[in-house]
Structure 1
Amino acid sequence: MIVFRYLSREVLVTLSAVSAVLLVIIMSGRFVKYLAQAASGALDPGSLFLIMGVRMPGFLQLILPLGLFLGILLAYGRLYLESEMTVLSATGMSQRRLLGITMIPATLVALVVAWLSLSLAPQGANQFQLILNKQDALTEFDTLVPGRFQALNDGTRVTYTEQLSDDRANLGGVFISEKRLSQDKKDRGISVLVAEKGHQDIRPDGNRYLILENGYRYDGNPGQADYRVIKYDTYGVLLAKPDVSDEVTDRDAMPTRDLIGNPDLRAHAELQWRISLPLLVFVVTLMAVPLSRVNPRQGRFLKLLPAILLYMAYLTILIAARGSLEKGKLPQALGLWWVHGLFLLIGLGLLYWEPLRLKLASRRSMKEVARG
């Protein structure tokens, strides 16, 4: 029991440290991406931390298996390097017993990953898509940033304002450039609006207008001198109505209960993927225990790079198999299970190869002694 607590603590502490570092790295990259979208007006800056919160379960379901894998390699590698594993082996600690002890904290991690992949991550993906749907429904006034050119409507309109009131209703120093398209989507030049000030007007029927005051409108084609210039005192621009949608179409946002029995190939592939993540924990644990065995003279990091490459191969093949299953290139019965079976055999080979090699070497030595 003392040995079990000691080994489990070493694995879980290292797992927590590695997972925390990986989570910070991944979330930092995502936050920079979302921050750039917020700066361009594609996202509401006030929703950034909410987005990061709902995305966290999706990150953790992939980080924890890798964190456990690296945690076992680093924790047990240190024990081998400091000869603690040698002492444990002398007291009867075999590789299979070490694997059995390690499987207990691995089971705890697998349960957490199962909870994340089957419940929390789909809920987070659902909330994330709803947030994006609401972002798509925002008007220009909701995302406009003073002093910044902002592309809207897939780049067909560019809006700029020098000043914007706190209630986002009044503008000062307005510039709007918009492509004019015919009904068959052909380019008919551009229209440029400049105004001293403007404000938002919401009509009883729900339509929103941008009312510009004291400005000019320029119509024409770049490179040509036939521009039309109109001076106006008041000019109204109809703003597109918000298109609020509560529909969730992404498969990773569907509840797990809706995937069970669903004949759709993508739904079936998504269900197998969610089940595969907890299975991934047990298989990588089987591979990590023998890979953590190092010679003190070689250092604890000798097998770290090959081990990481093996893990990346496992995950890459699993993702590729998921894509093939979604496209119908793999039978549903075969699915993703063959990938787990392949690396399960690799893990068993790693586990029994060293004892088998030592056993064969011992027999060879005994034969040489007998011949001498």
Structure 2
Amino acid sequence: MLREFSLNLLAVVGVLWLIYVATRFARYLADAAVGNLPAEVIFNLLWLNSMGALSVLLPIAVFLSVLLGLGRMSADNELTVIAACGIAGNRIRRNVLIFTGIMGIVIALLSLWIVPDVLAGRYQLEQRAKVTADTTGLVAGSFKESQAGDWTFYSQGLSADRTHMENVFIEIQREPKPLIFRAARGHFDVEPSSGDKYLVLEEGYRYEGKAGDLDFTIAEYATHSLLVEQGGQQQYREKVKATATAVLWQRGNLEDLAEVQWRISSALMTVILGLLAMTLAHAGPRQGRYAGLFPAILIYIVYSNLLGVSRAWVEKGDLVPWLGQIWVHLIMLGLWWLLVNRYQLRHYLSIQRQAQGQ
């Protein structure tokens, strides 16, 4: 059984991993095509993203591997022969728990320690890549407009490492007074905590107003920062995902506690899904080995969505942190108990109906 589960796990992880990598690769190519990402960092980001996705792909892969393994054995009547030989169902349940328990420990190690470090490296690489992309798209001696069309950039030249601009001219169209900046040097910078992107100008002048107006203002500055793009909630969430578990636990705010619970839930989810797979794998006559695949996918979607809803409630303060996502796991354990005892419950209800009819 363990060999059957392991072979199915390798096959399912391979398929899911290839789908994930292909999707991410297409997205990075689109970003590189419009100049938002340097082409040379695509494969590094792809590798870090695929490693970070293992904690998300493994729970459903373990679930499907147990389901497919036991489904094949049920369709080939191997489980029937095992029961006829006097081997109790607890032996099968023990093997499933051993397999899912080992994988749960692996997923816990990934979610709590390894994946945050990988995502931290990816986050830093993405921020550097975005800054590099802004200056890489600049051609010395030519103008470049922002995507919204309200900013116009001009740089006479770039530094040797192509990270700093020299002799910068910037025009910002706004009402009621347009802005013009001149600077000897300029570079892009990203605030690590918020993800906000700034254009930092050094040793220049700031002109505000329209030419010929009486309220025309000229100011000299040593350093001037312009907000180019706000990081937003998505950048903040990515930063939290890349933070070490010990740091999140020490800070202890609602968003950090919700993230810690989410990481722990991945391991618990793996074991509970393995138990549910046992009840769905026993196919009836003429049903085939894939009969339980559709309800299994439906259960996984409901399970993962409930965990996501519980996480959002904890972040917003609508749910007390100590309850967190425990109630979702208890509901799924209750569903497993109902599926295991469904025949006894059906027999009990039929007896009760007969007693009421008499």
Shorter-chain TM-score category?
0.7 to 0.9
1:94 and 1:70 mapped to 2: Cα distance? Answer: 23
Are 1:181 and 2:173 matched, yes or no? Answer: yes
Contact 1:15–1:71 (CA<8 Å) still a contact in 2?
A: yes
* Aligned CA distance change for structure 1 residues 306 and 132 (closer, same or farther; 3 Å): same
Partner-residue secondary structure (3-state), 1:299: coil
Counterpart in 1 of 2:206? none
Counterpart in 1 of 2:305? 316
1:150 and 1:9 mapped to 2: Cα distance? Answer: 59
- What amino acid does structure 2 have at the position aligned with 1:62? V
2:152 and 2:317 mapped to 1: Cα distance? Answer: 43
Pairwise CA distance, 1:34: 1.3
Q: What pairs up with 1:56-135 in 2 under 5 angstroms?
A: 56-135=50-129
2:272 and 2:135 mapped to 1: Cα distance? Answer: 52
Partner-residue secondary structure (3-state), 1:128: helix
Counterpart in 2 of 1:300? 289
Pairwise CA distance, 1:352: 2.6
Counterpart in 1 of 2:321? 332
Pairwise CA distance, 1:157: 4.6
Are 1:8 and 2:38 matched, yes or no? Answer: no
Partner-residue secondary structure (3-state), 2:301: helix
Partner-residue secondary structure (3-state), 1:260: helix
Larger Cα-atom Rg: 1
Match of 2:264 among 275, 299, 307: 275
Count of residues in Structure 1 that have an aligned counterpart in Structure 2: 304
- Taking only the aligned residue pairs, the percentage that are identical comes to 29
* Aligned CA distance change for structure 1 residues 288 and 39 (closer, same or farther; 3 Å): same
Provide the TM-score with structure 1 as the length reference.
Answer: 0.70
Give unpaired runs (5+ residues) of structure 1: 1-6, 170-177, 191-200, 210-219, 221-238, 365-372
Provide the TM-score with structure 2 as the length reference.
Answer: 0.73
Pairwise CA distance, 1:156: 3.5
Match of 2:242 among 243, 253, 271: 253
Q: What pairs up with 1:18-57 in 2 under 5 angstroms?
A: 18-57=12-51
* Aligned CA distance change for structure 1 residues 181 and 144 (closer, same or farther; 3 Å): closer
Pairwise CA distance, 1:360: 6.2
- The one-character-per-residue Cα deviations of 1:61-83 (angstroms, maximum 9, x if unpaired) are 11111011111111111111111
Counterpart in 1 of 2:338? 349
Partner-residue secondary structure (3-state), 2:327: helix
1:11 and 1:151 mapped to 2: Cα distance? Answer: 56
Partner-residue secondary structure (3-state), 2:53: helix
2:179 and 2:153 mapped to 1: Cα distance? Answer: 17
Partner-residue secondary structure (3-state), 1:333: coil
Partner-residue secondary structure (3-state), 2:132: coil
Contact 2:151–2:173 (CA<8 Å) still a contact in 1?
A: no
* CA RMSD, 1 decimal: 4.0
Pairwise CA distance, 1:339: 0.5
Counterpart in 2 of 1:4? none
